[in-house]
Amino acid sequence: MKIRVTVWGENVHEHKNERVKSVYPRGMHAHIAEALTKDGDITARTATLDQPEHGLTDAVLAETDVLTWWGHAAHGKVEDAIVDKVQARVLQGMGLIVLHSGHFSKIFKRMLGTSCALTWREQGEKERLWVCNPGHPIAKGIPPSFVIPHEEMYGEPFGIPDGEVVFLSWFEGGEAFRSGVCFNRGAGKIFYFRPGHETYPTYHQAEVQKVLVNAVKWAMPMGQKWENPSAAPKVVPSLETIRTEDPAHGQSAGGTGLK
Amino acid sequence: MKIRVTVWGENVHEHKNERVKSVYPRGMHAHIAEALTKDGDITARTATLDQPEHGLTDAVLAETDVLTWWGHAAHGKVEDAIVDKVQARVLQGMGLIVLHSGHFSKIFKRMLGTSCALTWREQGEKERLWVCNPGHPIAKGIPPSFVIPHEEMYGEPFGIPDGEVVFLSWFEGGEAFRSGVCFNRGAGKIFYFRPGHETYPTYHQAEVQKVLVNAVKWAMPMGQKWENPSAAPKVVPSLETIRTEDPAHGQSAGGTGLK
Amino acid sequence: MKIRVTVWGENVHEHKNERVKSVYPRGMHAHIAEALTKDGDITARTATLDQPEHGLTDAVLAETDVLTWWGHAAHGKVEDAIVDKVQARVLQGMGLIVLHSGHFSKIFKRMLGTSCALTWREQGEKERLWVCNPGHPIAKGIPPSFVIPHEEMYGEPFGIPDGEVVFLSWFEGGEAFRSGVCFNRGAGKIFYFRPGHETYPTYHQAEVQKVLVNAVKWAMPMGQKWENPSAAPKVVPSLETIRTEDPAHGQSAGGTGLK
Amino acid sequence: MKIRVTVWGENVHEHKNERVKSVYPRGMHAHIAEALTKDGDITARTATLDQPEHGLTDAVLAETDVLTWWGHAAHGKVEDAIVDKVQARVLQGMGLIVLHSGHFSKIFKRMLGTSCALTWREQGEKERLWVCNPGHPIAKGIPPSFVIPHEEMYGEPFGIPDGEVVFLSWFEGGEAFRSGVCFNRGAGKIFYFRPGHETYPTYHQAEVQKVLVNAVKWAMPMGQKWENPSAAPKVVPSLETIRTEDPAHGQSAGGTGLK
């Protein structure tokens, strides 16, 4: 069975900025989905902010193995209830790939618990990405380094917890950045990939598309679904005989029922 | 200068449960604060749910090096605005020590991004804690293992990200658990310590008090304050000359101002 | 193509201890290999200490996707030159699964850099393993907990670096232990699994066999081979023009050739 | 009491290369030791390859809180027996700071278990270091970025396990690198710091000296000494009564004595 990807796109710049429209005529989300489906093992659908439930209904999330997320101008417009559902699905095992300005999305900050802040400069400078681990699945088929001719710069400090660093970026303007980082949260795998400013054709570039395909294959659930990661069940009776007498309840097992 | 600790207590059970009142007559928070201040390097104040801003005003947080958190019955009553402030302070460098049922507190779930769920049983059984790293600062002066005669059981799966495991627990009823785990988030250090059910005199026990003192010393900020971890400053002009012409903006640096 | 596993066995106890011989008539290595091959996606061969190069020739290692390692009585008899080769292959991407008393093998200590020590007791007591992450690939199909009726006890402190903890063990005699831990080293994945004392039929147990099969599928290389992880190539000329004049060598790039 | 640092220097280039001699007239080790002792909390001695036991006798190691290591031309001449002793001390809690070309030292590769390889270019180019976590103790008092006018380049892939990344480097020639990384091994803390090529006055630079002082204070043991991390004691009798009968030994606890 193919890996079922849902490509989420904010889909705002595409309607306000002529340049973005010219680079991604059908929207960044549609373009990314098409790039992914060029791989025979992947099937991709799209979802956008303007759709009901932002296109992320229970049914869609239930059928999604990996969710990719690109947002920038409207992070605040994403409903918390949807963020709750996406977080729950990641903890169950759904992969999450956060792209570029998605670093400031509610879902990325929610999953990591940190600021996810960084420094930036939008000047179309040259970016060069370096592979930190040539044997990592996400680096499969990627050369030791590759150049993106024009990109927005992101710089350190990047407010994330420690993760597995797969790519570093070098910027013409003088910065270095952790551009590809992996995290495990619950049963889900999360990958942040830095490139992808809306005004440049980054997602048209072969190496970038290859990284996205690799990331999807890395992030897809390999284990079983963690059905209810938020459950806090009371375990009574115990598996082993408890001989200690409970000074609070006596031998009859108690339980506040608060959980 | 002494380490300034604020001991946060939900302070609910103490007023509803005669047994808790008898074990902690002045409240768990007051008892823990007294235990900490027995160490010459620590000064501790308390804060509780029923106080304005739950006792965690900007002034209090600004003067807190390490915050300890015990809650259980009223996690939902903690205002999100206060959780926001505590999270911001941790990212700036304030240490956070989460105790027992605080695993389900808003602040712990916020900082880790996972469910923080576990299994439990309240039967006053025997718990034995094992030290996983005798050289860890939090294990200083703690024997290879020690017993808490009566405790609530917590069992795996514990819904947390990977961290540095300092203690494991063995329970009479048959479970094992990661009872002491360290995390770094932003400039702050976080330690979760499992024991401390309200109906048992756990915080009266010498080894437990020693762990709390050690944890405070470990979690206190050793670096400088990260003044504004959530800032995303635009870095213009660049430190190095950018020779690449920006197809989107030409030589004049752009910036969407969205951040 | 099937996953090619080489099951390495010390094969000493089987010839000296009647009980071990009765539990594993054809040797522990042969038994484990047979258990793995019951899975349609795996093909397994064996290698033992007494063979030339301990059965781990360059050809065998080159054709091995995942190596499992069980040793106990003769760790010191494993030639360092072979350990060097195995380490090199792991860094290239070969998976390594270290079993039970293999915690003290040269290869495990080599890969982790720590003592890998632990406490132990050989009394045939009950062990119960708990799953810490139900969604982890290695826990696929494993119940929340399962019992091994008779096992040797291993206790903390376990001298390993932090890793991803997948299983914890509870022992009848009072100990708890990190029984399943994952590590990444170079392009290779390493999994340590605690159970498997030679005098008990642990590897006959369905849950244990399932964990081994899962571990093989988790550890198999998913990325490309890291051809030469120990290479330290001189990168001349540089990708970007270096305008700074070298006070040590002038504009002509130098190089000590020491690497 | 002051932090007792031993600064280990290979002390080879200083005698063969006029330029190195002119930059570090009394040797790199002596210069680094002097820089550290300018901090009131630190006392430093030196040790070199040409001394008996490379200057790292049991007595010296016993009195060392933090060891710094710089080597390049003669890694192979360091005796394995001394490496064994240094590793044992780190596992007991001694801090280890590995400098620049020390990435290929026996002790660094021993502690990490990986290749520790990287790419390099010796052309005196500009290096800029970026702080990834302004609140980290090792970054205390360090600006967001600083430049080293002339350095050897080190590039990815850097063959190390995942660690806590404190600094990234940007190189004029086009590379980026993880230049400051923290690891925990046993009771010891390890920090790798990239800069410090022998032909440039890197260790004369204020920011670099500040990082070294910070690293010493971060790496000093904060917990108790782990007396014997390699011990594997037999734990008999058990703390809890074992009711299960041992099919291998009967009720009398056995033990192979192999450990």
pLDDT per residue as tens digits for the range C107-144: 999 999 999 999 999 999 999 999 999 999 999 999 99
Q: What's the half-sphere exposure (Cβ side, CA atoms, 13 Å) at D215?
A: 31
Cα four-point dihedral sign A213, A218, A223, A227: negative
**B14 CA: distance to closest CA in chain D (Å):** 34
Going by C-alpha positions, the residue among C194, C234, C246 that lies closest to residue C215 is C194
DSSP per residue over chain C, as a string?
Answer: --EEEEEEE---HHHH-HHHHHHSTT-HHHHHHHHHHTSTTEEEEEEETTSGGGG--HHHHHT-SEEEEE-SS-GGGS-HHHHHHHHHHHHHT-EEEEEGGGGGSHHHHHHH-S----EEEEEEEEEEEEES-TTSGGGTT--SEEEEEEEEEEESPP-----EEEEEEEETTS-EEEEEEEEEETTEEEEEE----TTS-GGGSHHHHHHHHHHHHHHS--S---S-TT---B--S-SS---S--TTTTTS-B-----
Nearest chain D residue to B126 by CA distance is: D240
H helical segments located in chain A: 13-16, 18-23, 28-37, 58-62, 80-92, 106-112, 206-219
D209: left (phi over 0), alpha (psi -120 to 50) or beta: alpha
**Average pLDDT value for residue range A48-76:** 98
Q: What angle do CA C181, C167, B71 make, to 5 degrees?
A: 110
Neighbours of C9 (CB within 10 A): 26
Phi, psi for residue B226 in degrees, rounded to 5:
-85, 95
Say which CATH superfamily domain A3-258 falls into: Class I glutamine amidotransferase (GATase) domain (3.40.50.880)
Is residue A70 within 8 A of residue A8, CB to CB? The reply is yes
Q: How many Å from the N-terminal Cα to the C-terminal Cα in chain D? A: 38
Mean predicted lDDT score pLDDT of chain B? 95
Tell me the C-alpha distance between A225 and B136, whole Å. Answer: 35
Tell me the C-alpha distance between D27 and D34, whole Å. Answer: 11
A5: left (phi over 0), alpha (psi -120 to 50) or beta: beta
Contacts of B145 in chain C (CB under 8 A): 174
Whether residue B130 lies within 8 A of chain D, CB to CB, comes out as no
Token pair of A112, please?
């990591």
The answer, yes or no, to whether residue D253 has pLDDT greater than 90, is no
The answer, yes or no, to whether residue C257 has pLDDT greater than 60, is no
D106: left (phi over 0), alpha (psi -120 to 50) or beta: alpha
H helical segments located in chain B: 13-16, 18-23, 28-37, 58-62, 80-92, 106-112, 206-219
Tell me the C-alpha distance between C18 and B254, whole Å. Answer: 79
Binning pLDDT at 50, 70 and 90, where does residue C258 land?
Answer: very low
Is residue C90 within 8 A of residue C190, CB to CB? The reply is yes
Token pair of A11, please?
């889909």
Is residue B188 within 8 A of residue B161, CB to CB? The reply is no
Cβ separation of A135 and C239 shorter than 8 Å? no
How far from A76 is each of A72, A83, A86, B258, CA to CA, in Å? 9, 11, 16, 11
**B132 CA: distance to closest CA in chain D (Å):** 10
Which candidate from C91, C120, C245 shows the least CB-CB separation from D232?
Answer: C120
Whether residue A228 lies within 8 A of chain C, CB to CB, comes out as no
Token pair of B236, please?
């213009």
Cβ separation of A223 and C188 shorter than 8 Å? no
Q: What is the pLDDT of residues B179-191, one digit of tens each?
A: 999 999 999 999 9
Which candidate from A128, A137, A229 shows the least CB-CB separation from C223?
Answer: A137
**Average pLDDT value for residue range B76-91:** 98
Cβ separation of D256 and C73 shorter than 8 Å? yes
- pLDDT given at position B248: 87
Hey, what amino acid is at C147? Answer: V
Tell me the C-alpha distance between B102 and B7, whole Å. Answer: 13
Which candidate from B144, B163, B168 shows the least CB-CB separation from C168?
Answer: B168
Binning pLDDT at 50, 70 and 90, where does residue A249 land?
Answer: confident
Which candidate from A118, A173, A199 shows the least CB-CB separation from B232?
Answer: A118
- pLDDT given at position A256: 38
Percent with pLDDT over 70 in chain D: 96
- pLDDT given at position D250: 61
**Average pLDDT value for residue range D130-151:** 98
Token pair of D17, please?
């290369």
DSSP per residue over D216-242, as a string?
Answer: HHHHS--S---S-TT---B--S-SS--
* DSSP letter assigned to residue B254: B
Kindly state the helix (H) or strand (E) to which residue B7 belongs, with its residue range.
Answer: strand B3-9
Kindly state the helix (H) or strand (E) to which residue D85 belongs, with its residue range.
Answer: helix D80-92
The answer, yes or no, to whether residue D254 has pLDDT greater than 80, is no
Show which subunits contact C, needing at least 3 CB pairs below 8 angstroms: A, B, D
Q: What is the pLDDT of residues B103-128, one digit of tens each?
A: 999 999 999 999 999 999 999 999 99
Nearest chain D residue to C247 by CA distance is: D124
Whether residue A22 lies within 8 A of chain B, CB to CB, comes out as no
Token pair of D246, please?
């041992």
**Average pLDDT value for residue range A29-43:** 98
Tell me the C-alpha distance between C47 and C53, whole Å. Answer: 9
Token pair of A245, please?
């007498």
Is residue D100 within 8 A of residue D70, CB to CB? The reply is yes
Token pair of D55, please?
């200057």
Cβ separation of C141 and A224 shorter than 8 Å? yes
Cβ separation of C155 and B130 shorter than 8 Å? yes
Which candidate from D140, D222, D223 shows the least CB-CB separation from B224?
Answer: D140
Is residue B235 within 8 A of residue B255, CB to CB? The reply is no
Q: Say what the pTM is.
A: 0.96
**B152 CA: distance to closest CA in chain D (Å):** 19
Tell me the C-alpha distance between B184 and D179, whole Å. Answer: 20
Cβ separation of C247 and D124 shorter than 8 Å? yes
Cβ separation of D239 and C159 shorter than 8 Å? no
Is residue D154 within 8 A of residue D205, CB to CB? The reply is no
Q: What angle do CA B207, B211, B216 make, to 5 degrees?
A: 150
Interface of A with B in 74-113 (CB under 8 A): 87, 91, 101, 104, 110-113
**Average pLDDT value for residue range A69-80:** 98
Which residue is associated with the tokens 């992947």?
A: A42
Whether residue C239 lies within 8 A of chain A, CB to CB, comes out as yes
Whether residue A177 lies within 8 A of chain D, CB to CB, comes out as yes
Percent with pLDDT over 90 in chain A: 95
Whether residue B164 lies within 8 A of chain D, CB to CB, comes out as yes
Which candidate from A104, A149, A232 shows the least CB-CB separation from B120?
Answer: A232
Is residue C93 within 8 A of residue C188, CB to CB? The reply is yes
**Average pLDDT value for residue range C158-181:** 98
Q: Which residues pair with C192 in a beta bridge?
A: C98, C181
Binning pLDDT at 50, 70 and 90, where does residue D249 land?
Answer: confident
Contacts of B18 (CB under 8 A, 6+ apart): none
Is the ipTM here above 0.90? yes
Select from C120, C146, C156, C240 the residue whose CB has the most chain B CBs within 10 Å, as the one to mutate to test that interface: C156
Domain-wise residue ranges, chain C: 3-258
- pLDDT given at position D248: 87
Binning pLDDT at 50, 70 and 90, where does residue D209 land?
Answer: very high
Binning pLDDT at 50, 70 and 90, where does residue A9 land?
Answer: very high
Is residue C118 within 8 A of residue C102, CB to CB? The reply is no
The answer, yes or no, to whether residue D251 has pLDDT greater than 90, is no
H helical segments located in D1-71: 13-16, 18-23, 28-37, 58-62
Kindly state the helix (H) or strand (E) to which residue D110 belongs, with its residue range.
Answer: helix D106-112
* Number of CB pairs, chain B paired with chain D, less than 8 A apart: 72
Cβ separation of C239 and A184 shorter than 8 Å? no
Percent with pLDDT over 90 in chain D: 95
Q: What is the pLDDT of residues B135-175, one digit of tens each?
A: 999 999 999 999 999 999 999 999 999 999 999 999 999 99
Cβ separation of B72 and A258 shorter than 8 Å? yes
Cβ separation of C130 and B156 shorter than 8 Å? yes
Tell me the C-alpha distance between D175 and C236, whole Å. Answer: 12
Whether residue A16 lies within 8 A of chain B, CB to CB, comes out as no
Whether residue C128 lies within 8 A of chain D, CB to CB, comes out as no
- pLDDT given at position C250: 61
* DSSP letter assigned to residue D42: E
Q: What is the pLDDT of residues A83-131, one digit of tens each?
A: 999 999 999 999 999 999 999 999 999 999 999 999 999 999 999 999 9
Cα four-point dihedral sign D211, D216, D217, D221: positive
Token pair of D247, please?
């099919």
Identify the burial level of C80 via C-beta atoms within 10 angstroms of its C-beta, where 0-12 means exposed, 13-18 middle and 19 or more buried: exposed
The answer, yes or no, to whether residue A259 has pLDDT greater than 50, is no
Contacts of D145 in chain B (CB under 8 A): 239
Tell me the C-alpha distance between D38 and A140, whole Å. Answer: 48
Tell me the C-alpha distance between A194 and D96, whole Å. Answer: 33
Phi, psi for residue A197 in degrees, rounded to 5:
-70, 140
Strand runs labelled E in D62-210: 66-70, 95-99, 119-131, 145-155, 164-171, 176-185, 188-193
Binning pLDDT at 50, 70 and 90, where does residue C253 land?
Answer: very low
Whether residue A164 lies within 8 A of chain D, CB to CB, comes out as yes
Cβ separation of B187 and D133 shorter than 8 Å? yes
Whether residue C126 lies within 8 A of chain B, CB to CB, comes out as no
Token pair of B157, please?
């799966």
- pLDDT given at position B185: 98
Question: Roughly what angle, to the nearest 10 degrees, separates helices C28-37 and C206-219?
Answer: 70
The answer, yes or no, to whether residue A223 has pLDDT greater than 70, is yes
Q: How far is CA D169 from the centre of its chain?
A: 19
Going by C-alpha positions, the residue among C51, C98, C49, C108 that lies closest to residue C70 is C98
The answer, yes or no, to whether residue D166 has pLDDT greater than 50, is yes
